[in-house]
Amino acid sequence: MPFSSLGLSDPLLRAIADAGYSTPSPIQQQAIPAVLQGHDLLAAAQTGTGKTAGFTLPLLHRLSQHSFSHNRPVRVLILTPTRELAAQVGESVNKYGAHLIPRLKTEVVFGGVKINPQMQRLRGGVDVLVATPGRLLDLISQNAVKLDKVETLVLDEADRMLDMGFIRDIRKIIAQLPKKRQNLLFSATFSEDIRKLTTGLLVNPVKIEVAPRNTAAETVEQIAYLCNKANKTELLAHLIKSGDWQQVLVFTSTKHGANRLTEKLNKVDIKAAAIHGNKSQGARTSALAGFKAGEIRALVATDVAARGIDIALLPHVVNFELPRSPADYVHRIGRTGRAGEQGQAVSLVSHDEVGDLRQVEKLMGSAIKRDQVAGFEAALVAPPMPPEPPRPPRQPRHNKPTGKPATATTHARRNPRPKPAA
C-alpha cells in the first residue's frame, strides 16, 4: 500500500518522500485514515512503530484544510511525558509540515528551562503545541496560553505519563479544552489506570494494536517451553541453575504469585526478591538495587511494577505466566537484548495458555519456537492423583467406566488462570 492511497495532501506526500519513507508502517496504515476521518483513536504502540508520523501527518492535513484565524489559537495539543519526546515530536511536526502553505506554527514547551522565553514565543499564537503536562499548567496559570479552541488532543506515551505521576495534571488540562474535540491516545501498555483514563475521554475510538518494528521482537531469541502448570517453579529453578543464569527478570500475573514464587526460589537457594504494587517504595528500591548489584539473582515482578523500572540489557527474561495482553508480552521481552546484546526471552506455557501464545504470535506476525525441557515435558494426561487410602473391596458391577480419559485440560481447569495484577 503506497502513502498516496491514504488520502494525504501533496505537500505532505512530498515531505514523506523527503524523509525517504516508501511505505506506511502498519500503525500508519490504520491510524492515518481514521484520524483523517476525525475519529478518536486508542493505539497500543511504542516508539519505533512510526506512531509519530501516524498522528502528525493526518493532523497536519486536517489543520491545513481550514483557514487560519489571525490570532492563531492552539488547535492541536500534543502531551508527552518527557522533554526529549516533546522535542522529537516537535521536530516531526516541522519536518512533515515543511511544504505546507501557509506554514503552520509549532511550539514545544517543557519544564526544567526558563519559562519566560516560552511565554514570549507563545504570544504570537501557535497552531500546534507540544508540551509536557507540568509546564503547560504553569503556562496556563500565567495566562500565556489558552486552550479553548483545541480541536485535537494527543496523549503520547500515556502509560509513561501516568507512571510519572501526571494523571492529575492531565485531568486539569483536559478540563480546559472544549468538550467537543478529537482525542488520540497512544500507549505501549494498558493498565487499569490507562483504562480509567480512556473511559470518558475517548468516544467510540478506533482501536489499533501493533508490535514495534526492529526491536526486541526481532532481535531477542524467544522460546516457549510447553510444560505443566504444577511444574513451573521446578522448571524455572532448573533453567536458572543449569543455565547458570545470574540475572533474570521473571514476570508473574499476580502479586500473590510473585510472592509465592519468590519464597519457593529462595528455598532452593536461588536468591530472589519480588516487586509489585503491594510492596513499599523502599522495598522496591532495595530489591532493584540488589538485583542491579548482582546480589539478587531473580527479580520477580508484575507488569505494572516492572513498567517504571529502569534495568538495561538483561540477559534473561522469563514469562512465568503469559500476560493477558499480547502487547504486554512485547513490552516484557523488550527488556532483554537491547542495543544488539544477546538476550533470551523464555515463556513457560501450560496447556491453558497455548491460546494466549497464539495471540502473541498473531500480534508479532511471527512464530515463537516451542520446545520442552527433558524431565519437564508437558504431560498429555493429568498427573496421577495422589494415592488414596486403601478401601474395602467393592462389587465389580459398580465399577462402570466413564469413557472419558483424564486429560490435561481437566487438570488445567482445576487450576484456573489467576487474574492479572492491578
- Per CB under 6 A, residues contacting ligand AMP are 21, 24-25, 28, 47-53
Minimum distance from residue 82 beta carbon to ligand AMP (Å): 13
- Supply the Cα-derived Rg of the chain in whole angstroms: 26
- CA-closest candidate to residue 275, choices 303, 240, 295, 239: 303
Nearer to ligand AMP, 47 or 359 (CB): 47
- CA-closest candidate to residue 225, choices 208, 243, 207: 243
- How many Cβ atoms are within 10 Å of 139's Cβ, its own excluded? 19
> Do 273 and 300 touch, CB atoms closer than 8 A?
yes
Nearer to ligand AMP, 47 or 266 (CB): 47
Nearer to ligand AMP, 27 or 287 (CB): 27
Nearer to ligand AMP, 49 or 253 (CB): 49
Minimum distance from residue 212 beta carbon to ligand AMP (Å): 8
Nearer to ligand AMP, 28 or 350 (CB): 28
Q: At what angle do helices 116-123 and 133-141 cross, to 10 degrees?
A: 70
Instruction: Please give the single-letter amino acid code of residue 191.
Output: S
Dihedral sign, Cα of residue 33, residue 35, residue 39, residue 43: positive
> Do 215 and 48 touch, CB atoms closer than 8 A?
yes
What are φ and ψ of residue 91, in 5° steps? Answer: -65, -40
| Pairwise CA distance, residues 117 & 422, whole Å | 42
Minimum distance from residue 303 beta carbon to ligand AMP (Å): 21
- CA-closest candidate to residue 120, choices 135, 139, 103, 148: 139
Residue given cell 502531551 in the structure block: 79
**What is the per-residue burial (b if ≥16 Cβ within 10 Å, else e) of 245-271?**
bebbbbbbbbbebbbebbebbeeeebe
Minimum distance from residue 314 beta carbon to ligand AMP (Å): 23
Residue given cell 476525525 in the structure block: 38
Residues 6+ apart with CB under 8 A from 398: none
Nearer to ligand AMP, 24 or 257 (CB): 24
User: What grid cell was written down for 78?
Assistant: 500534543
- CA-closest candidate to residue 279, choices 265, 307, 258, 263: 258
> Do 76 and 127 touch, CB atoms closer than 8 A?
yes
Give 3-state DSSP helix, strand, coil % of the chain, rounded to 5.
40, 15, 45
At 196, is the secondary structure helix, strand, or coil?
helix
Minimum distance from residue 257 beta carbon to ligand AMP (Å): 33
Dihedral sign, Cα of residue 32, residue 33, residue 36, residue 40: negative
